[in-house]
Structure 1
Amino acid sequence: MTNSPIKTEIDFSAPGRQVGILTVPYSYNLSGWAQLQIPIATIARGEGPTVLLMAGNHGDEYPGQIAIMRLLRELNLEEITGRVILIPSLNMPAAKASTRLSPVDGMNLNRCFPGDPGGTVSQIIAHYLTTVLFPLSDVVIDLHTGGRGVYFFPCAHMHLVEDLAQRRRMAGATMAYNTDLAFLYSDIAGTGLLPVEAESQGKTVVTTEMGGGEVTTRAVHRLSQDGLRNVLIHVGVLEGQEQTRSSLGLSPTRWVQALDSGDYIFAAESGLYESLVDVGDDVDAGQPIGAIHFIERPDRQPTIIEAPSSGVVIAHRGPTVTQQGDIAVCLAHDVPENVIATFSDSHSG
């Protein structure tokens, strides 16, 4: 396999606390000798699992970036058993520009896996994760929101992987985030996702969708930060008492899924989007859930989007200005009990 052009002075095998950078060669029009610099840190002590923490895969998704930066500053070496690798802003060009896609190569980093060491900047980063950091890791945590385009009910989510032992590990870590809803999703927008690559290597993968948009409430920040710490305790790399929904006085996590293409409802016309429901609302089949208004024809009645089936609104359009083909609503449904049973160690398989 071709070696990655990414370099770092971080010694991933060394104990202790290290803070450094990943350097990605990048020649642009003002300089032939230049590089992109991605901050990275490791905190390692003794024998235990390795957890890779990442946010900023998309640059316009902020709570995870802040949560990892806080964690980097706050973690004490004495609290760690194993190794934590922290990358607060994985897609540094997009994070600086507050964009979903990298302004360097116009690519979606989350669609670039397994990557290419001779490709664009995004493909080089993806290849480094695939060939260097994922193999080092037992647990991969990739923190997201809906960005500017989509507003999610804050949730942890995962794929329904085939391997039952891996599925149980992932479900346990997902529930450790202590979100009201836990979400099973499908990949309707193409291949090359970071979580899929990590899953294919057998890793315990945890991802989140913590709201979206430019405004992040204190409650979402708290959930992002407290949940992340609790997951680290759950997987055994951070000391402390794991908090459960029960210990917090909360109802059990509700598992929901959107695994059918019909659960993803797109705008048939361009206009101004009005949400008629809130994320987290339960809706009935045929219920109006959104409306598209037309600024050039204010006398025209809006197009009403109706729920194709009963379910819970897990996400809806973020910006009001909407183009034909934009996602309007994602409708999720309760996960069947026989599937939930596979999340438990007591399941016989």
Structure 2
Amino acid sequence: MTITLGSASADPGELAVGRLDIGETRDGSRAGLPVAVINGASDGDRLYIQAVSDGNELNGLGVLRRIVPQLDPAELAGEILIVGIVNYHGFQVAEHRNPIDDRKLNRTFPGDSEGTASERIAAAVFETAKTADLILDLHQGSTSRMIEEVRVRCGRRHTLHSECLQLAKVFGCGYVLDQKGPEGQLARVAPDEGIPTVDPELGGSVGFDEESIQAGVEGVFNVLNHYDFLDGEAVTERQTRAKRFDQYGASAGGLVDYCVDLGDRVDEGDTLFEITDPFGEVKDSVAADNSGVFWRSRRLPQVAVGEYVCSVGTNVDSY
């Protein structure tokens, strides 16, 4: 059967690239998202992958640049549908949000074909995503420093929770955040359509980060092997799971010195960071409220009072 996504159309055993129309830009010209269709030579499930729904989160795009050239449709069972850059407008100016409507695109699913620019994009890609059997929505921790992790966003009472958790384990970054996501996230909305969906967060960087991209490449191939798109084996290992975040802000203005590294285990009362003045005098220190894993931190050292500094993943177990 011929598979079509936007202008990309592939018969069994073929790969095609093209554009998915999302309307007109401010000068009246048409805008299209880069898409790819990989139609396997034999029957199987359908995987949907997207990246850059946040315009400055590029590691997912780095993953797609690596995996697509490595995939031979003749060796593939089933179909892979890919949208390489979802937030077209944000990507053009390297901004997190869509500058056309100042919306965070990954809060707009399932979208609205007659709504704002972000809602129209979400509706266009969700039309394809909801035809899939599995969904990977590739992200990163914006430009903050963050461990590689996979987010399960459907909520632990959802009927598809175990399937989403298994998909996160197969992707295999080593860490999982198992916490219900905000309304409008693809990884929260798609399970309501019966589709196991996860949100791999591939570190955090400005531009591409090689280590995080490689983790994403390995994760995608784990999924392809485990779910029989490819004739290979995925090695699944126990994952460290956090069920919520504790977030910490600056108790004073100044410069941040971290006392722990990303991925470190911390106990309640451990010092997470100190704030100094420009000459190194310590103004305050902030300790962990609960035991957990040091998960994420801001990249720049300077902070104003109350500004976000870091996060600790808590309620930690393994599975």
**Considering the TM-score relative to the shorter chain, is it more than 0.5?**
yes
Distance 2:186 2:258 in 1: 30
Q: Which residue in 2 is equivalent to 1:157?
A: 151
Asked if structure 2 preserves the Cα contact closer than 8 Å seen for 1:51 and 1:85, the reply is: yes
1:115 aligns with 2:111: yes
Asked if structure 2 preserves the Cα contact closer than 8 Å seen for 1:176 and 1:244, the reply is: yes
1:307 aligns with 2:303: no
Distance 2:312 2:171 in 1: 22
Range 85-94 or range 217-226, more displaced? 217-226
Spell out the pairing of 1:173-188 with structure 2 (5 A cutoff): 173-187=167-181
Asked if structure 2 preserves the Cα contact closer than 8 Å seen for 1:258 and 1:330, the reply is: no
2:232 to 210, 227, 240: 240
2:134 to 136, 139, 158: 139
Report how many aligned residue pairs link the two structures: 312
Q: 1:304 to 1:42 in 2, by over 3 A?
A: same
1:325 deviates by: 4.6
Spell out the pairing of 1:222-237 with structure 2 (5 A cutoff): 222-237=214-229
Q: Which residue in 2 is equivalent to 1:171?
A: 165
Q: 1:289 to 1:237 in 2, by over 3 A?
A: same
1:258 aligns with 2:244: yes
1:284 aligns with 2:261: no
Q: 1:324 to 1:202 in 2, by over 3 A?
A: farther
Q: 1:48 to 1:310 in 2, by over 3 A?
A: same
1:271 deviates by: 3.7
Q: 1:323 to 1:191 in 2, by over 3 A?
A: farther
Q: 1:322 to 1:299 in 2, by over 3 A?
A: closer
Q: 1:118 to 1:313 in 2, by over 3 A?
A: same
Structure 1 segments unaligned to the other structure (5+ residues): 1-6, 246-251, 341-349
Amino-acid identity (%): 23
Distance 1:215 1:19 in 2: 24
Asked if structure 1 preserves the Cα contact closer than 8 Å seen for 2:25 and 2:31, the reply is: no
Deviation digits for residues 132-156 of structure 1 (CA, Å, limit 9, x no counterpart): 11321111101111111x2211122
What SS is found at the alignment partner of 2:243? strand
1:39 deviates by: 0.4
Deviation digits for residues 251-282 of structure 1 (CA, Å, limit 9, x no counterpart): x32222216xxx22233554433322111111
1:300 deviates by: 6.4
Q: 1:266 to 1:42 in 2, by over 3 A?
A: same
Calculate the TM-score normalised by the size of structure 1.
0.81
Deviation digits for residues 69-123 of structure 1 (CA, Å, limit 9, x no counterpart): 2222221101211110112221122223222112332221111122222222211
Asked if structure 1 preserves the Cα contact closer than 8 Å seen for 2:59 and 2:209, the reply is: no
Structure 2 segments unaligned to the other structure (5+ residues): none
1:312 deviates by: 1.1
Q: RMSD of aligned C-alpha atoms?
A: 2.4
Distance 2:8 2:276 in 1: 53
Deviation digits for residues 234-264 of structure 1 (CA, Å, limit 9, x no counterpart): 222233222233xxxxxx32222216xxx22
Asked if structure 1 preserves the Cα contact closer than 8 Å seen for 2:90 and 2:98, the reply is: yes
Q: Which residue in 1 is equivalent to 2:44?
A: 48
Asked if structure 2 preserves the Cα contact closer than 8 Å seen for 1:155 and 1:180, the reply is: yes
